[in-house]
Structure 1
Amino acid sequence: MALDQQRNWTISMAESLQAVKNKTAANKDPSLDQSSLFPVRDDDPKSHNYRATEPAYLPNELVLDILEYVAISAEAQKSLYTCCLLTRQWLMAALPYLYAYPKIYGKNYEPFCRTICPSINLRIKESPLAGLVKVLNLGMLVHHSSKSVTARVLRRTEGSLEEFVAPQASFALNSYAALSKSHNLRSLDLSLVSEAQPLDMLFKSLRSLNHLERLRFPRSSGFGSNTVNPDSIIWPQALKDLHISGGIDANFLYGIVHFPPALERLTIEHCPQAKSHAIRQLLSTLSRAHLPLKALSLSHMPRLGSSSLDPVLGLFPGLEELSVSVDYITPAIFNPDFQEWQSEDTPNFLDHKLRMLSFTNSGNPGVDDKFSPIDVLLTLDEGSFPSLRRVKIAKSLGWDRGETRDETEALIDRLQELGTKDYDNKTGVYASMSTQQWKTADWKDWAGVWIID
């Protein structure tokens, strides 16, 4: 409704044409009551028996402040559409907010496409509204579109697009040309794409995206494709958040000899073809690059062994967040003497920067007893990981049930005790806060154990 410009135009033209016909008939027959020949609209003041008044005028600055508040609400699209119906001033001010972050779903996707792409040929008819779209999230679409329509919408919005989430079934090779021209793109999410995507085409499209900061691989990437040429693996220089998934194999992992210099977050998951030696080589290369990596997440790689990722904390002494499946680690992950992978320096866990540790479950049987809260508690008592305050545990590991629950309570008390000291001394996460932020902060939000699904 909010994005159906063509339908509103058709209805208005039909009503105007009918009014002209009625007026012509009234001129030919003066005995007819002209007022009864015109259709009564719902927005006509006469149909509601109230006196019409001029709308109150507000300065443009105040209107924009109101719209900025409306745009972040849960029902932003409906509210912004209503604002467009008030006056011409509100219409011109609300349109950029309405089309900047459109909420696309099955029923309104076709009207949205007709508005953005009134003609297949851009040179015949273009829509000025296409240049207002900044975020295009097609993640809720499955079979509501075609590959050609997705490519056409991307071509029309490529000049202003900053974030894009690809649909599941209607994204294909013909969309890469438009993606490569979206020079303002900051976030590209292909994780929902079901069709196998060639990695060489993906990297070729990424070369011109100098502002791209976040990239999520499709889970289908690499399946059935030829070997990737290592020379074609060129990352955008501004990339900070990288999510690798799909059918990547040893050839791809060994081919990565460098990473984007600004990389801060790396996620490797849902890679059924990745083997232990390839993942080790990738992480070792990443460790030697001395990047500003702060967060690392590793899960759902069925070919990894039960202790394949034990040395991961020793490789990244500056890591602040680690999420790892217990399927691939043992309590030796906390042992600084365990150094199967050779690094430049001997790991010193007494100065490690780790603040948050998450244990997940990739679904393998018999892993719920590999770790216990006592393992983490003993590590803290030894003085290792002095900044660790938050521990997240998958619910399937059972830390909140049976005898393990008492151990979890003891770990919570220890973490909250350390968190209280941080708050009183304004250290840890509170060191970078302003005085006002520090006074209003709740230390319970920064220390403890959380059970996650």
Structure 2
Amino acid sequence: MSSSISSDSSSYGLSTSPPSTATSPLSMSDLASELPETDFDLQSRHIPFEILELIMSLIPPPFPAALLYVSRAFYHASIKHVYQRPNLSPKNYLPFVTTISSSDIFGKYVRVLDLRFIIQSGKNSYTSRILRRCSKSVEEFYAPQTSFGYAPLISVRHCHKLRVLDLSLVCETVDLRELFLAIRNLQSLTVLNFPRSSVFCVGFDNSLWPPNLDTLGLAGGISDEFLTNTIFPHTITTLTMAHCPFIKTEAVHSLLSQLGPLLKSVRFAFPMMTLTTNGLDPILRYCPNLRQLSVPTDYITHRMLSPDNVSPGHPLEMLDLDCSGMLGQSNKIQADDIALAILEGLLPKVRIVRASIKLGWSKDDEEVSELIEVLSEKENGGLWIA
């Protein structure tokens, strides 16, 4: 972000400085007073401000910041949309922090705060400061890739409208006990993704879960004891597990036996180093109401689709097969295994299958062609290899 906004609509700045030599951020009234009065400005006075605001609200993101320079009326109708979902990068992050810190006005417009592209400049003090400034309005927060220490956790406590808290890219070690203490009273929080460098959580207090949690992403140094002994909220319908190097197969089965009937979407990501090569075969048995499943073939075999693990009429609709590309993984499940499961009524509702190119499937193969034909009979069905 720079202290001036280019008139080119392809550049998306966030500073509110007018096109002049000024280097420090100005308030809305300062900028509005310095805008030139144009013929269009005279005409726009006849447009009811409510209509102008409605027009601005219909513009899809990213909002073109160049509209700030059309007229005073356009400025006042556009400013909140410019800051609603700021497009932040390492180039414009520091001026954004300066602008947010220098005024109490702009922070109240921020709804989505996405810092996932902030790396070296993502200091704890900056993150904590902008969270405090945006605490009354922010609904989604995606943490930067570097640090997220104690000070940002304290600031999160005051973000009472927060619905999404995504810490999945944080490299710094985070104590999960401090994290849960920070979010326990966030009544609106529905999505929580653990940091991939979280530390063991021993003696966890089950009363610390946010009351309306719907989507949970488990990652980092969580232990088997955490999965086995924790009472997870019965509001969870979406589960993701990634970067869990210490979790064994028995602990995953314990988790699925508790949450399985509630889950509509499940995703496992490679690598999970202590999971056995067939550890996720019974996943459809544990999750009888699952609609979407994403799983690496490293942890399943063709027996995942056998009658021992799938009850007839299972409601699964989307199956996403990933693969590490390691030797022997591509032969563990084949296209005809899926086609037979559909035709035999075990998975009658499957209509979308996405397969990693590392599986070696080709549309010229007879088995793959048969699966394509079966899926093409479904509404909006098909096979995607990517």
Name the aligned partner's letter for residue 305 of structure 1: T
Matches of 1:276 and 1:136, distance apart in 2: 36
Shift of 1:9: 8.9
Gaps of 5+ in 2: 6-12, 25-33
Alignment match, 2:293: 322
Shift of 1:82: 2.1
Name the aligned partner's letter for residue 415 of structure 1: L
Do the aligned partners of 1:203 and 1:232 also contact (CA within 8 Å) in 2?
no
Do the aligned partners of 2:214 and 2:237 also contact (CA within 8 Å) in 1?
yes
Structure 1 residue 391 and structure 2 residue 353: aligned? yes
Match for residue 272 of structure 1 among 234, 245, 248: 245
Alignment match, 1:92: 76
The Cα offsets for residues 392-447 of structure 1, whole Å up to 9 and x where unpaired, read as: 1111101127x6x3211111111222x1xxxxxxxxxxxxxxxxxxxxxxx3xx21
The Cα offsets for residues 128-161 of structure 1, whole Å up to 9 and x where unpaired, read as: 1111111111111101232111111111111111
Alignment match, 1:115: 99
The 3 A distance-change label for structure 1 pair 273 and 372 is same
Do the aligned partners of 1:204 and 1:232 also contact (CA within 8 Å) in 2?
no
Matches of 2:15 and 2:277, distance apart in 1: 55
Calculate percent identity across the aligned residue pairs. Answer: 35
Shift of 1:261: 2.5
The 3 A distance-change label for structure 1 pair 42 and 237 is closer
Residue 237 of structure 1: SS of its match in structure 2?
Answer: coil
Structure 1 residue 55 and structure 2 residue 43: aligned? yes
Residue 55 of structure 1: SS of its match in structure 2?
Answer: helix
Alignment match, 1:197: 174
Matches of 1:8 and 1:153, distance apart in 2: 25
TM-score for both structures, normalised by structure 1: 0.75
Shift of 1:363: 4.7
Higher alpha-carbon Rg: 1
Shift of 1:361: 1.3
Matches of 2:296 and 2:257, distance apart in 1: 19
Name the aligned partner's letter for residue 270 of structure 1: H
Structure 2 matches for 1:343-362, cutoff 5 A? Answer: 349-362=311-324
Matches of 1:12 and 1:336, distance apart in 2: 69
Structure 1 residue 64 and structure 2 residue 53: aligned? yes
Do the aligned partners of 1:304 and 1:328 also contact (CA within 8 Å) in 2?
yes
Structure 1 residue 167 and structure 2 residue 144: aligned? yes
Do the aligned partners of 1:6 and 1:115 also contact (CA within 8 Å) in 2?
no
Matches of 2:320 and 2:92, distance apart in 1: 39
Residue 82 of structure 1: SS of its match in structure 2?
Answer: helix
Residue 411 of structure 1: SS of its match in structure 2?
Answer: helix
Structure 1 residue 183 and structure 2 residue 160: aligned? yes
Alignment match, 2:370: 410
The 3 A distance-change label for structure 1 pair 323 and 237 is same
Do the aligned partners of 1:237 and 1:261 also contact (CA within 8 Å) in 2?
no
Matches of 1:156 and 1:244, distance apart in 2: 29
Higher helix share: 1
TM-score for both structures, normalised by structure 2: 0.87
Matches of 2:329 and 2:132, distance apart in 1: 48
Alignment match, 2:385: 451
Matches of 1:256 and 1:378, distance apart in 2: 38
Name the aligned partner's letter for residue 298 of structure 1: F
Residue 208 of structure 2: SS of its match in structure 1?
Answer: coil
Structure 2 matches for 1:129-144, cutoff 5 A? Answer: 129-144=106-121
Name the aligned partner's letter for residue 385 of structure 1: L
Residue 319 of structure 2: SS of its match in structure 1?
Answer: strand
Shift of 1:107: 1.6
Shift of 1:44: 8.9
Alignment match, 1:217: 194
Shift of 1:219: 0.9
Matches of 1:280 and 1:53, distance apart in 2: 65
Do the aligned partners of 1:5 and 1:111 also contact (CA within 8 Å) in 2?
no
Matches of 1:245 and 1:309, distance apart in 2: 17
Matches of 1:52 and 1:381, distance apart in 2: 65
Match for residue 248 of structure 1 among 205, 222, 226: 222
Alignment match, 1:427: none
Residue 188 of structure 1: SS of its match in structure 2?
Answer: strand
Alignment match, 2:236: 263
Alignment match, 2:255: 282
Residue 61 of structure 1: SS of its match in structure 2?
Answer: helix
Matches of 1:233 and 1:298, distance apart in 2: 26
Do the aligned partners of 1:203 and 1:233 also contact (CA within 8 Å) in 2?
no
Alignment match, 1:122: none
Matches of 2:236 and 2:125, distance apart in 1: 34
Residue 54 of structure 1: SS of its match in structure 2?
Answer: helix
Matches of 2:18 and 2:48, distance apart in 1: 31
Match for residue 103 of structure 1 among 87, 92, 115: 87
Alignment match, 1:295: 265
Shift of 1:266: 0.6
Alignment match, 2:337: 375
The CA RMSD over aligned residues, in Å, is 2.5
Matches of 1:12 and 1:310, distance apart in 2: 60
